[in-house]
Amino acid sequence: MPKLSAGLLLYRWRERELQVFLVHPGGPFWAKKDAGAWSIPKGEYELGEDALAAAKREFNEETGFEAEGEVHELNMLRQPSGKKIRAWAVEGDCDAAAVVSNTFTLEWPPKTGKQVEFPEVDRAGWFGIEEARQKILKGQAGFLDQLCELLAY
């Protein structure tokens, strides 16, 4: 059974430019990666769990913000890993510089036995659609396309 993940694609308008909110994963594996490393705030959920509720929970855990507003369901995307991501677009705003993320523990450096805590998200940003296409993980780029189609942008 493939893993299931749910997230929110927060968007806003600045003058006539559509911008999306993306997060950069924390931890040592992503520290020096930028292009193709960013994601919508999302996380795993269990079969039978309310996916939208999970998406809102994960958004809050990864950013420290509550996403309020009308949601628009996007089509599920299957990732190269086989994971299935459900996402909803929500118009809203938040201060990307004020993101506060939950953490995870990882043995680092490997094989040292030392457990180090890292933030799940180490930074966030607002990006115009073209820049977002460069930043976002390849498997999630379809959400940007769906958002543009939804908003006729």
Domains of the chain: 4-150 (3.90.79.10)
The predicted pLDDT at position 144 comes to 98
Token output for 111: 């094989």
For residue 96, which phi and psi values (nearest 5 degrees)?
-60, -30
- Please give the model's pTM, rounded to 2 decimal places: 0.95
Q: What sign does the CA torsion over 81, 43, 137, 150 have?
A: positive
Give pLDDT, residue 2: 85
User: Which residues lie below 8 Å from residue 133, measured CB to CB, with a gap of 6+?
Assistant: 141, 144
- Exposure string of 104-129, with b = 16+ CB inside 10 Å and e = fewer, is eebeeeeeeeeeeebbbbeebbbbeb
Task: Tell me what pLDDT residue 1 has.
Answer: 80
How does pLDDT run along the chain (153 residues), one tens digit per residue? 889 999 999 999 999 999 999 999 999 999 999 999 999 999 999 999 999 999 999 999 999 999 999 999 999 999 989 999 999 999 999 999 999 999 999 999 999 999 999 999 999 999 999 999 999 999 999 999 999 999 999
